[in-house]
Amino acid sequence: LRAIKVNEARMREAAEEGFLLATDLAEYLVRKGMPFREAHRVVGELVKHCLEEGKELRNLRELEELKGFSELFEEDVFELLSVDASVAARRTPGGTAPKEVRKQIEEARKLAKTSEV
């Protein structure tokens, strides 16, 4: 691992491509009161729409376009449409939020010190 070279720019580019934010949108609709199965269906329709229009979820910027799929979408949805927001939202143990990652790194360091390699 000491010799690993991470291409951060390429990692970000790859993370921003496609529809990784679909789960965040489904979770958003569930928090707004929509049953999960329906939220999954709505977001699936939204992804299909994006594919047909040559768009990605992060490029959606018109509330009316989103409301065409569900009236539960409000202005606050745009705060979710970024990889950074998605990463930061995962605050459970083992999640991707920076604080959680730091905890995982510290635990791994402690384990490495006590383990024979």
CA 61 to chain centre: 17
Please tell me which residue, 111 or 36, carries the higher pLDDT value. Answer: 36
Local confidence band at 115 (pLDDT 50, 70, 90 cut-offs): confident
For the cut 60, the answer to whether the pLDDT of residue 101 exceeds it is yes
Both structure tokens of 101: 């990652």
Please tell me which residue, 83 or 76, carries the higher pLDDT value. Answer: 76
For the cut 60, the answer to whether the pLDDT of residue 117 exceeds it is no
Question: In sequence order, which ranges of the chain are alpha helices (DSSP H)?
Answer: 8-16, 22-31, 36-53, 63-67, 83-89, 98-114
Q: Which of 9, 12, 22, 13 is nearest to 81 (CA)?
A: 22
Share above pLDDT 90 across residues of the chain, in percent, rounded to a whole number: 47
